[in-house]
Structure 1
C-alpha cells in the first residue's frame, strides 16, 4: 500500500469524522433545547384552560366603579417605614390605613417582573412561563381579566403594560407615553405625573363630551393608573436613594389627588380604591427573584365595600396562616418602624387581588383566577360573604373540572383525582348550610372545596410527570452514551483499531434491523400519543429518546469490542481508569455544590495553588519562581468568591484596575521578549527578532485601556452630577468598545502574543461595563489562565523528558496532525469546566434573574431599551468566558490534542451535572428555591449551545495561533 493511498484513507476518515461531529453538534443543540422545555411541561404547565363559563355574583355590587393604582417597583418597607425625622413618606395613604380602609402586604410570586405581576393582579393567576419568550410584553395565550369583564376600562401609563391588557379590548380607552420617556439618567417621577395628567384631562373632557360622560357614569367601571416612576428610579438610583424615596411621596400625592378628584366628580360614594405594586426592588436596583424585597409589596384598600380599620387589643398576635398556592408560608410580623402594630394587617397573595376587585364592582372572577377572595377586606354581611366565597370557589372548581374533562377525553386510561370525586355532593351540602343560615359551616366547606380544587388543578398540571421524567432521563443517558462512543471511536487510539476491524464490527444487515425496530417503536408511541392528544413536544421527547437508544443498539458490536478491550487490559490500567472516573465525578459534584455555595472555589484555588506549586518544584526545580507565581495567582483569584454577590459601586477601583490590566500585559510581553534561548518559554512564544519587542499595536491597545479608564471616571462623575450622559461620552465609549475588539486580529500569531492581545482587547469593554471589584477579577482570572498555560508546559516537558531532545524536536516539527486523547487528557476539560464556572460565579451568582447590575450599561445608553441593555449585560458576562475558551483552544494546539474531542468531553461532563440538576428542580417551597432550581438546570442544559457559540466566536481570534517548533535552541536541555 502506497503512502498516497494511506494519506487518502486518512483524509476520508477525517472528513467522515467532521461530518459526524457536525451532525452530532446539531443533534445536541436540538436535544438540549427540547429537554430544557420539558421542565415547564413537567412542573409548570400553563394554568390557562378555555371553555368555562363565568360564575355570576348573587348579591348587589358594593361599588359602582373601581380605581386601581399600581406603583411599579414599590417595595413594602420603603412605603410603610418612617423617615429619620419621624414623618412618613406616604401621609395620605397612611391616613387611609388609620381612618378609612384596610392594609396589608401583597406577596408576589417570582418571576417578580412587571408583566407577570400585573397579570396576577388583574387576571388572578400566575404567569405562564412561556411569556418570557416574548419579553413579558405580549400575551403568549389569551386570558380573562377584570378588565375584560368590566363594562368600561380607562387605563393610562407605561407602553410596556397598558397595551397588554387594553390594546385588544373594545370597551377600553387608554393611552401610554413613548418608550423614550423612560430615561434612566433623570428623575422618572414625571412619568407618574404624566399618567395623572391623562386621567385629569379625561375627566375634564367629559364635561364637554356627553358620550364620554355617559361611559364614565356607568357601573362596573374600572380605572387603572400605572405609575412607573419608582421602578425606573429604583433601577437607575437604587431604592435607598433620595430620588426613589421622593418618588414614593409623589405616588402618595397622586393617590390623594385621584381620590379627591374622583369623589368630587362622581359624588355618590360608590367608588372603591385599590393601591398596590406589581413587585418590589432589591437593594442594588433590580428585581425578578424571590427575595422579600422583591416579593413584598404594599396593599391599601378603601372606599365603597371596604371595611374600616380594625384596632387590635394589647397583646394580640396575628394569625400566621397565609400560604401560597404551593403552601409556601409567609411571615407576617409587622416591623415596629412601620408604626402600624396596633392596626390589623391582612396579607394576601398577589393573585387574591383580582377576585377582590371583581367582587367589589359585581363582576364574575376571571375564569382562570386561582386567587382566594380576602373576605377581611370586604364590608359584607355574613350571607353575602358566603355567597362571594362560594362564587370564587366555584370558579376555581370549574377550572379543575375542565382540566379533568380534557384529560379524560384524551387518555386511554384515565386516572381521576379521587378527593373531588363527590364534588357535587359537597356543593349540595354547602347550599343546605346556606339555606339553614349555618354560615360558619358553609365557609369551612367552601374553603375545603377551594383547597381541594387547587390541589386537583395541580394534579392535572403534573398528570404526565412520571412518563416525562422517565423519558427525559433516558434521553440524557442515551445522548451521553452516544457522545462517549463518538469520542472513543474518533478521538482515541481506538479509532485505528476501529478502522482495522470495521469489517468485524459493522454488519449492515444487523444495523438495518435495529433501525427498522426503532422506527416501528417510534410509530407505535407516536400513535398512542396522537390518540391521547398529547402536545407536539411530547412526541419530540419520546422520538428523540427512542432515536438515541436505537443508535446505541445499532453499535452493539462496537460496544462489545470496547468491553473486550477493557476486559483484556492490565488490572492497573483499569484501576487507573476507575480512579480517574471517580475523581472526575467528585469534581463534577463539587461544581454542582458550587451553584449553592460559591465559597467552595476559594478553598479549591487555595488547595490547587499549593498542589500545583509543589508539582512544579518537584518535577522542574529550576522553575521555582513560576511555581510561586502560580501559587500567588490561584490564591489571588480565591479572594473573589468571598466577595458579596451584590457588587458595590467603586468607580476608583475600576479606574485602578485599568492600570492593573496594563501591568499584567507588560509582564506578559516581557516574558515574551526575554524568551530567546529558553526552550520552555519557546513552547508559548514565536521568535521573529526582526519585529519590535513592543510593537505599535501593543501601545495602541494599552492606550485604549487607559482611555477606557478615563471614560469610566468621566462618564460616571458627569452622570452623577448632571443626571444625564453627554452624547460625546456615549460616542467615545462605543468607539473604544468597537475598536478594541478588532485590534487583536492584527497581533502576532505566537500563542502568548495573541493571548496577551486578546486580553488587552477585551479589557476596555469590560472596564466600561464594570462598576466595582469585578474589574479586578478580570485581571486575576487572566493571571490564573497564564498559570494554567505554564503548568501544561511543565507537564509537556516532564512527559517528554525521557525522550532525547532530537526526537522531541523531530516530533514537534514533523507532527502535522493532532494526536489522540488519552486518559491523562481528561485534566484539560476538567480544568476548563472549573475555570469556566469560576468565570461564571467569580463576581456573583449570575444564576439568579435579579443578579444583573443594570447601572453598568449607563456609560453606553440611558434611554430605556431592554434588548440593547440586555445585550450589553450578557456581553459583559461573556468576556471572562471568552478568555477561558481562548486559552483552552490555544492549549489544545500547544498539546496537539483534538479540540473537538475536548469539547465533547466538556459537554459529556456538563450533562452529568445537568442530570443532577434535573432531579433538583422543584415546584414547591419558597419561590426563590424554585426559581434557582430551574435556572441551574437551564444554565447547564444550555451549555452545549452556549459553549459551542463561544467556540465559534473565539475561533476568530485563535484559529491562526502557532506554537513554537523549537528550531532555535533545539539542543538546550529541557
Structure 2
C-alpha cells in the first residue's frame, strides 16, 4: 500500500508541475475593458474585400513560370500597376485559426486554443468584423463561425459548405474555392432584386470575406509542387478577377472599394505546416483599390537582402513587408472602423494613399489603442500586487505616457506629420514591450515556486531511494533532528504566511497550488534528514575520482540535453561520446561483441539528428529497407537463441505471425504511395491493415512469453509494424537502430555488473520476469546507477528529437512510447538480472 500511495502522490505532483508550464508560459495575453478607438477623418474606402487563400506560399504565387509568364496573371498585374505588395510574416504555430485571428483580430493566438482544435473561442476577442457595420463571409465551417460567435450583435453573416467537403484525400479540392466564388456571384445577383440587402451593401464600413481553402487542401493531399496545387492558384486568380469585376459593377465603379489578398500561412514542400520554416511563415500580401498606393517603381536597392526580389523579378517595384497582425489595423484604417481593441499590429502606413494628416492621425489612433491595452494591463497587475512589490515598467511611466501623447498631438497640430508618425511608432514599441513585461510579471515568482517544489520532490525521492536501497554507514546523527511537532508548526506558519500573501494579492487558485505544494514536500524532506547525515558520513568511503567523474558527467550531460532542445545536432555529439563508453570503462575486454555493437549502434543513431525534419521528399524504398532490417535482426536473434532458450510452439507461431505482419506493413506504404500518386485515393485494404495494426500493437505483446528477450522482441515487432505505416523516408530506420541499441544496452549493463563483482550470472535470455523476486538477494545501489539514470534520460530525449522537432509531435509521441515500453522491460531486467542473483 505504501508503494501505491507513493506512486499516486508522485503522479499527482508531476501532473501539477506539468500543468504549471501552461500557467507560467502559455496564458492568454488578452485584456478587456478598453474603449475602441477610430480616427475622426473620412476614410478612403466604404467597403473592404478580404480574400485569404489558405495555405498559399509567397513563392508559389510570385515566382514566374519558365516562359516568363505568371500562374496568377491578374494579381501580378495588380502588383505591377495598381496596388502595393509585400510579404506578410506569420508566427508559429502556422495554423489556420491563429493565422486568421492575427489577420482579422490583430493579435497572435495563445497556445490555450490548441486544446479546442483552433475552432471554438477559448477567449472572447475583438476583430475587424466585429467593428464593421456588416460583414458577409463565405468559406470553411472551421474558420467562419469563430468570428461570428465572438461578434457583438448580429451583423456577421456566414455561408459555409458542409464539413465533409473538406476531404484531404480528394483528387482535387479546388471545388471548395469554386463554391465560394459561385456563392458570392449568386449573392450579388440576388442583391440586385433584394432591396434590404442592397441597402445594407450600399452602407459604409462593410466587409466581405472570402476564405479559400482549396489551395491548402490540395497542398496537404498532393504537396505544393503538384499540378493540383499550382492549378488551384490559377483558379483563385481567375476568381479574384471576376469578383472584382462583379463588385465594381454592382457599386457603379465608385472607387470606394479596397481589396486585400493574403494567406494565413504557407506550407512546406512536404505538404505540412505548423512550424517556423520560411516556406510556412512567408505569405503574400497584395492590397489595391480605394486608399491604397499604386505600384511605385524604385531604382535604388530595397532593404531586403533575402534574394526573393530577384527570384520573383520584382526588384523594380516597392516591396512593403508586414507582420501578419499589422494587416488588421490596415483594414480598419481603410474603412474607418475602430482598430480591434486587442490588436498588437502596427499600421503599415506606407500602403495608404491618403493625406499625410490622415496617416498621422491613423498612426496616433493606433498608438492610443495599443497604449490603452498597456494601461489596462498595468492597472490589473497593480491591483493584484502589494504596493511595495509593484515595479512599474520604467520606459512608460504615467508621466512618460502623457509626454508621448502631448508631443504627438502637438506635432500633428504643427503639421510635422513624419515626426508625429515616428513618435507614435516609438510609443507603440514601448507599449508592446510593456505588455510583455506585465504579462510575464509573475513568471519569475511562479517559476521559483515550481522549481522549489520540484527540487524538493527530487530530493525526497533520492533520500527515500538511498534509505531503502543504499548501504549507508549508520552513525549517530551529527545534526540534531528537529522535533516533529516543531517541524509541523513551522510548516503551518509558512502555509499561513503564503496563503495570506496570495489572498491579499487576489491570486488565481492555481497560484495557491504552486506556492503551497513545496511546503509538504520539504516537510517530508526534513523528516528524512537522518538519511542525509548518513550519506554525508558515508561519503569519505566512496572513490573520489569516480564521484568527480559522475559529477562532470551530470553537469555536462544536463547542459547537453538542454542545448538539444534548440539544436538537434547536439544529440549527435552526445551519442558520439556515449559510443566510447565501453572503451573508457574497460568493458571492451569483457564484452567485445556487445562493445562493438554499442559503438556502431550509437554512431548509426547519431546520424539521425543531422537529417532535416521538414521539406523532405518521400523515399519509400528506405521504409521497405527498414522493414527488412527489422525482420533480419529478429531472425538473427531467434536463430542465435534457439539452443539456449528453445521456443514453445505457441511462441514460435506468434513470432512468425508478427514477422509476416511486419513484412506486410513494410509493403503497405509503397502501395499507398503508388495509389496516391495515381490519384486513386487510399485503398480500403490499406486502411483496414493500418487500423488493425494500430489496435493489435498494444495487445499482441501481452500474449507472448514472459521470458525477457522474448517479450522484448514481441514488443519490438509490434511497434515496428505500426511505425512503418507512419514512415515515408529515412525515419523508418530510426526504430530498428534505437531498439537494437536498447537490446545491446541490457546485455552490456549485465557485463558491467559482472565486472563490479556480482556473481551468479544468469543468461538474460533465460530470465522470466514473471517469477517472484527474492528480496534477500536485492543488491544495494552503486555509483554506476547514476550513469544508468543519465543514459535513460538521454535516450528519452533522443527518442523525442532524433528524427523530428517539437512540431512533429505525431512522431515524437510514438518515439517516446517506443522507448518507454522498451525501458519498462529494461527496468524489469535491472530488477531481475542486475540486482537478483
Which residue in 2 is equivalent to 1:481? 459
Of 296, 302, 309 in structure 1, the residue corresponding to residue 282 of structure 2 is 296
1:782 and 2:739 are equivalent in the alignment: yes
Which residue in 2 is equivalent to 1:56? 38
Answer whether contact 1:613 1:630 (CA < 8 A) is retained: no
Answer whether contact 1:153 1:223 (CA < 8 A) is retained: yes
Query: What secondary structure, in the 3-state scheme, does the structure 2 residue paired with 1:775 have?
Result: helix
Question: Relative to structure 1, is the Cα distance of residues 874 and 477 closer, same or farther in structure 2, using a 3 angstrom cutoff?
Answer: closer
| Mapping of residues 341-740 of structure 1, within 5 Å | 341-413=315-387, 414-420=390-396, 421-422=398-399, 423-494=401-472, 510-566=483-539, 569-570=540-541, 572-609=542-579, 611-612=581-582, 619-620=589-590, 624-646=592-614, 647-675=616-644, 687=645, 691-692=648-649, 695-740=652-697
Partner Cα separation in structure 2 for residue 102 and residue 127 of structure 1: 27
| Mapping of residues 838-877 of structure 1, within 5 Å | 838-844=798-804, 846-847=805-806, 849=807, 851=808, 873=811, 876-877=814-815
Return the offset for 1:357.
Answer: 0.5
Partner Cα separation in structure 2 for residue 387 and residue 838 of structure 1: 54
Return the offset for 1:250.
Answer: 1.9
Partner Cα separation in structure 1 for residue 698 and residue 395 of structure 2: 63
Which residue in 1 is equivalent to 2:123? 141
Give 5+ residue unaligned stretches, structure 2. Answer: none
Partner Cα separation in structure 2 for residue 740 and residue 445 of structure 1: 63
Query: What secondary structure, in the 3-state scheme, does the structure 2 residue paired with 1:139 have?
Result: coil
Answer whether contact 1:185 1:724 (CA < 8 A) is retained: yes
Return the offset for 1:799.
Answer: 3.9
Deviations 1:386-405 (A, max 9, x none): 21111111111111222222
Answer whether contact 2:126 2:150 (CA < 8 A) is retained: no
Which residue in 1 is equivalent to 2:70? 88
Answer whether contact 1:796 1:895 (CA < 8 A) is retained: no
Partner Cα separation in structure 2 for residue 815 and residue 397 of structure 1: 68
Question: Relative to structure 1, is the Cα distance of residues 383 and 606 closer, same or farther in structure 2, using a 3 angstrom cutoff?
Answer: closer
Partner Cα separation in structure 2 for residue 337 and residue 425 of structure 1: 46
Return the offset for 1:307.
Answer: 1.4
Partner Cα separation in structure 2 for residue 291 and residue 29 of structure 1: 32
Query: What secondary structure, in the 3-state scheme, does the structure 2 residue paired with 1:335 have?
Result: helix
Return the offset for 1:159.
Answer: 1.7
Partner Cα separation in structure 2 for residue 637 and residue 442 of structure 1: 59
Question: Relative to structure 1, is the Cα distance of residues 435 and 288 closer, same or farther in structure 2, using a 3 angstrom cutoff?
Answer: same
Return the offset for 1:332.
Answer: 6.2
Query: What secondary structure, in the 3-state scheme, does the structure 2 residue paired with 1:275 have?
Result: strand
Partner Cα separation in structure 2 for residue 629 and residue 451 of structure 1: 57
TM (norm. structure 2) is: 0.91
Of 159, 164, 175 in structure 2, the residue corresponding to residue 180 of structure 1 is 164
Return the offset for 1:338.
Answer: 0.9
Partner Cα separation in structure 1 for residue 589 and residue 552 of structure 2: 25
Return the offset for 1:124.
Answer: 1.0
Q: RMSD of aligned C-alpha atoms?
A: 3.0
Return the offset for 1:18.
Answer: 4.2
Question: Relative to structure 1, is the Cα distance of residues 222 and 95 closer, same or farther in structure 2, using a 3 angstrom cutoff?
Answer: same
Of 250, 267, 281 in structure 2, the residue corresponding to residue 265 of structure 1 is 250
Question: Relative to structure 1, is the Cα distance of residues 445 and 628 closer, same or farther in structure 2, using a 3 angstrom cutoff?
Answer: closer
Answer whether contact 1:101 1:302 (CA < 8 A) is retained: yes
Query: What secondary structure, in the 3-state scheme, does the structure 1 residue paired with 2:107 have?
Result: coil
Query: What secondary structure, in the 3-state scheme, does the structure 2 residue paired with 1:762 have?
Result: helix
Deviations 1:461-485 (A, max 9, x none): 2333443343333333223222222
| Mapping of residues 8-87 of structure 1, within 5 Å | 15-40=1-26, 45-87=27-69
Give 5+ residue unaligned stretches, structure 1. Answer: 1-14, 321-330, 676-686, 853-869, 898-962, 966-974
Partner Cα separation in structure 1 for residue 206 and residue 189 of structure 2: 18
Return the offset for 1:35.
Answer: 4.1
Segment of structure 1 superposing worse, 783-792 or 574-583: 574-583
Which residue in 2 is equivalent to 1:245? 230
Query: What secondary structure, in the 3-state scheme, does the structure 1 residue paired with 2:796 have?
Result: helix
Question: Relative to structure 1, is the Cα distance of residues 694 and 88 closer, same or farther in structure 2, using a 3 angstrom cutoff?
Answer: same
Return the offset for 1:449.
Answer: 2.5
Answer whether contact 2:137 2:158 (CA < 8 A) is retained: yes
Return the offset for 1:605.
Answer: 4.2
Which residue in 2 is equivalent to 1:863? none
Query: What secondary structure, in the 3-state scheme, does the structure 2 residue paired with 1:222 have?
Result: strand
Partner Cα separation in structure 2 for residue 470 and residue 582 of structure 1: 25
Segment of structure 1 superposing worse, 283-292 or 59-68: 283-292
1:819 and 2:779 are equivalent in the alignment: yes
TM (norm. structure 1) is: 0.79
Partner Cα separation in structure 2 for residue 416 and residue 782 of structure 1: 54
Question: Relative to structure 1, is the Cα distance of residues 740 and 38 closer, same or farther in structure 2, using a 3 angstrom cutoff?
Answer: closer
Answer whether contact 2:708 2:825 (CA < 8 A) is retained: no
Return the offset for 1:277.
Answer: 0.8
Answer whether contact 1:72 1:278 (CA < 8 A) is retained: yes
Question: Relative to structure 1, is the Cα distance of residues 877 and 252 closer, same or farther in structure 2, using a 3 angstrom cutoff?
Answer: farther
Higher relative contact order (CA 8 A, sep 6+): 1
| Mapping of residues 304-343 of structure 1, within 5 Å | 304-312=290-298, 314=299, 316-319=300-303, 334-343=308-317
Return the offset for 1:308.
Answer: 1.2
* Number of equivalenced pairs: 821
Which residue in 2 is equivalent to 1:867? none
Question: Relative to structure 1, is the Cα distance of residues 555 and 304 closer, same or farther in structure 2, using a 3 angstrom cutoff?
Answer: same
Which residue in 2 is equivalent to 1:221? 206
Deviations 1:795-835 (A, max 9, x none): 34444476799xxx9xx999613433222222322222232
Return the offset for 1:600.
Answer: 4.2
Return the offset for 1:259.
Answer: 0.9
Query: What secondary structure, in the 3-state scheme, does the structure 1 residue paired with 2:386 have?
Result: coil
Partner Cα separation in structure 1 for residue 349 and residue 576 of structure 2: 58
Deviations 1:232-288 (A, max 9, x none): 222222222222222222221221121111112111221110001111112222222
Question: Relative to structure 1, is the Cα distance of residues 214 and 511 closer, same or farther in structure 2, using a 3 angstrom cutoff?
Answer: farther
Partner Cα separation in structure 2 for residue 296 and residue 538 of structure 1: 39
Return the offset for 1:497.
Answer: 5.6
Answer whether contact 1:668 1:752 (CA < 8 A) is retained: no
Partner Cα separation in structure 1 for residue 46 and residue 538 of structure 2: 83
Return the offset for 1:575.
Answer: 4.8
Query: What secondary structure, in the 3-state scheme, does the structure 2 residue paired with 1:722 have?
Result: coil
Which residue in 2 is equivalent to 1:932? none
Partner Cα separation in structure 2 for residue 737 and residue 405 of structure 1: 53
Return the offset for 1:226.
Answer: 0.8
Query: What secondary structure, in the 3-state scheme, does the structure 2 residue paired with 1:297 have?
Result: strand
| Mapping of residues 871-910 of structure 1, within 5 Å | 873=811, 876-897=814-835
Answer whether contact 1:332 1:347 (CA < 8 A) is retained: no
Which residue in 2 is equivalent to 1:212? 197
Partner Cα separation in structure 2 for residue 708 and residue 361 of structure 1: 57
Question: Relative to structure 1, is the Cα distance of residues 382 and 712 closer, same or farther in structure 2, using a 3 angstrom cutoff?
Answer: closer
Answer whether contact 1:651 1:771 (CA < 8 A) is retained: yes
Answer whether contact 1:649 1:772 (CA < 8 A) is retained: yes
Which residue in 2 is equivalent to 1:958? none
Which residue in 1 is equivalent to 2:143? 161
Which residue in 2 is equivalent to 1:235? 220
Deviations 1:59-83 (A, max 9, x none): 1121111000011111111111112
Query: What secondary structure, in the 3-state scheme, does the structure 1 residue paired with 2:797 have?
Result: helix
